[in-house]
Amino acid sequence: MADRFALVTGGGSGVGRAAAVALAADGWAVALLGRRREMLEETAGLCGGARTLLLPADVADPASVEGAFATLKAEFGRLDLLFNNAGTNVPGTPFEELTAEQWLKVVAVNLNGMFLCGHAAFRMMKDQAPQGGRIINNGSISAHAPRPGSAPYTATKHAVTGLTKSMNLDGRRFDIAVGQIDIGNAQTAMAERMARGVPQADWSIKAEPLMDVAHVGTAVAQMAAWPLATNVLTMTIMATKMPFVGRG
């Protein structure tokens, strides 16, 4: 396809920024959705002159998401790829000390936001001609195994895995390929604390290795490059020596 149109949520920083830059380098036009316009502008400036579209919006707000997709449809006309990436967390907190506010904040973005953006993209891909597209949901190593004190994040990321599989089944009729990338210890602002030391399964504190977030962007672009007849259902990309495989 001569023109390929992508949307990256959480596009103002971290994994979203890395994915947007990699997609732009691979020839995609990229829409960037996030809460802070100035951060989206910074990402657009890193996209090497590729066509970009800024969509300041809050993924947890249905009306905000609806407005962003209306603008996207008006400007791009179609959507070939959604990297459903926006996410948040709260500081590591023992389960018994969590507040309802903390729980609801994480669920609103990581699960409700994932649904709202995925749902809007799915409907757009179903209705466009030619029909179809690809959706890549951002899971996490936490979609497989938790860290201590991470109940809201872990619960939402486990839920994303179920959402991915359900969307995948429902999308097959419309050539909508849905997959998930599970990322471990990419070097972003959210992960900086890992280099300083984070709780392990026994609550001891240890520093953990990180990997270059640009490698995650490359992985997303690789998943996006396959024809719709081929799908990467799950990809795990992680710092090689992080504690995950086996018992550490």
- 94 cis-preceded (ω within 30 degrees of 0): no
- Please tell me whether residue 238 adopts helix, strand or coil conformation: strand
What are the backbone angles phi and psi of residue 242, rounded to the nearest 5°?
A: -70, 155
pLDDT in tens, 105-137: 999 999 999 999 999 999 999 999 999 999 999
* pLDDT of residue 194 exceeding 90: no
- The pLDDT score that the predictor gives to residue 203 is 86
What is the distance between the alpha carbons of residues 30 and 101, in angstroms, rounded to a whole number? 33
34 is catalytic: no
- The pLDDT score that the predictor gives to residue 156 is 98
pLDDT in tens, 198-241: 888 888 989 899 999 999 999 999 999 999 999 999 999 999 99
pLDDT in tens, 93-113: 999 999 999 999 999 999 999
pLDDT in tens, 143-185: 999 999 999 999 999 999 999 999 999 999 999 999 999 999 9
Torsion of CA 126, 231, 222, 195, to 10 degrees: 100
Mean pLDDT of the chain: 95
- Please tell me whether residue 106 adopts helix, strand or coil conformation: helix
CATH superfamily membership of 5-238:
NAD(P)-binding Rossmann-like Domain (3.40.50.720)
Q: Which helix (H) or strand (E) holds 195?
A: helix 192-196
Q: Which helix (H) or strand (E) holds 235?
A: strand 234-238
Q: Using 50, 70 and 90 to split pLDDT, how confident is the model at 15?
A: very high
> Where exactly are the structural domains of the chain?
5-238
Entry pTM: 0.95
pLDDT in tens, 43-70: 999 999 999 999 999 999 999 999 999 9
Q: Using 50, 70 and 90 to split pLDDT, how confident is the model at 247?
A: low
Q: Which of 86, 153, 180, 210 is catalytic?
A: 153
Q: Using 50, 70 and 90 to split pLDDT, how confident is the model at 1?
A: very low
Give me the amino acid identity at 55.
L
CB 177 within 8 A of CB 228: yes
- Compute CA distances 50 → 6, 7, 26, 53, whole Å: 12, 13, 10, 10
pLDDT in tens, 67-80: 999 999 999 999 99
